[in-house]
Amino acid sequence: MKSNQLHFIITAGGTREYIDPVRFISNASSGKMGEALARAAVKAGHKVTFITTVGNSKLKTVEVETADQMFKAVKKYFSKCDCLIMAAAVADYTPVKKSKTKIKKLNRDLVIRLRPTVDILEWAGKNKKKGQIVVGFALEDKDLRKNAEKKLKDKNLDMVIVNSPAAIGAESSQVQIKTVNVSWIKMPTAGKTAIAARVIHLAENLVLKLGLKNIAFRQQPGQMAK
Ligand code: CTP
């Protein structure tokens, strides 16, 4: 790796939690934010391990479907990365049992029991070593800053990006970003490419601040509103 190159792990897309071989529980995530982040990191010259539930012909990917598979993939690469960005919409719950055969229609209610999945971000926050940065997303419909700051603290993150459900599937979004010991940045509504460039740049600066890498990055992209 070049001296000013970092290794990013970026996750994207909603996970699929299977009920039977053809049915699953998922969410509306398009994977666009994660893809924009992976592109921005590649464009900035970094090494990117892109773990995604959404196929992508333009980027080298590690394809996964379930929360469990995503966790395994993150664990595989985590020790070697400088920065993990969890942009994926990982399901919080998965069926306790996956039927091996297609569930038949019956003339009564069907109850599906769910168990919590591993919180990958929390695991990474607990297991990060000196010099590693962990970045999470928060999707909140109220008390955005308060809820996101709680996640930043509880999951031992270095940065949290908060947005509202309107961001799902959209081309543009309004995000607010908080890094540890720095006040909130409120970005104007912007395309996901511009948001991604800003996030990658902030992550570079965080790694720089840790002082463990001898790196000099390019100039900061366009001024953003506070
Ligand atoms: N996340 C994760 N593993 C999970 C669930 C979520 O790594 N099993 C990560 C997401 O990738 C995201 C962050 O946690 O970066 C926040 O997800 P969110 O669903 O907003 O928050 P939760 O912590 O799951 O809490 P809640 O849904 O109650 O707000």
Q: How many CA atoms lie within 13 A of 163 on its CB side?
A: 23
Which pLDDT tens digit goes with each residue over 94-103? Answer: 999 999 999 9
Atom of ligand 1 nearest to the CA of 147: 29
- The answer to whether 176 touches 184, Cβ cutoff 8 Å, is yes
Which residue puts its alpha carbon closest to atom 6 of ligand 1? 90
**Average pLDDT taken over every residue of the chain:** 91
Which pLDDT tens digit goes with each residue over 25-51? Answer: 999 999 999 999 999 999 999 999 999
pLDDT of residue 86: 98
pTM tops 0.85: yes
**Domain 7-94+114-210, CATH class in plain words:** alpha beta
pLDDT of residue 137: 97
Pairing of strands 133-139, 159-163: parallel
Which residue from 74, 121, 133, 139 has its CB within 8 A of the most atoms of ligand 1, so it is best to mutate? 121
Q: Which residues are catalytic?
A: 27
Cα torsion 226, 43, 6, 159 to 10°: value is: 30
Reply yes or no on whether the pLDDT at 12 is more than 80: yes
pLDDT of residue 215: 65
Mean pLDDT (whole number) for 119-144: 96
Nearest to 202 by CA among 149, 137, 145, 135: 135
Q: Roughly how many angstroms between the first and final C-alpha of the chain, as a whole number? A: 34
pLDDT of residue 224: 41
Q: What is the DSSP string of 77-114?
A: HHTT-SEEEE-SB--SEEES---SSPPPP-SS-----E
pLDDT of residue 223: 40
- Other CB atoms within 10 A of residue 53 CB: 25
- The answer to whether 69 touches 128, Cβ cutoff 8 Å, is no
Atom of ligand 1 nearest to the CA of 138: 20
Least confident range from 51-60, 121-130, 154-163, 165-174: namely 165-174
86 lines ligand 1 (CB under 6 A): yes
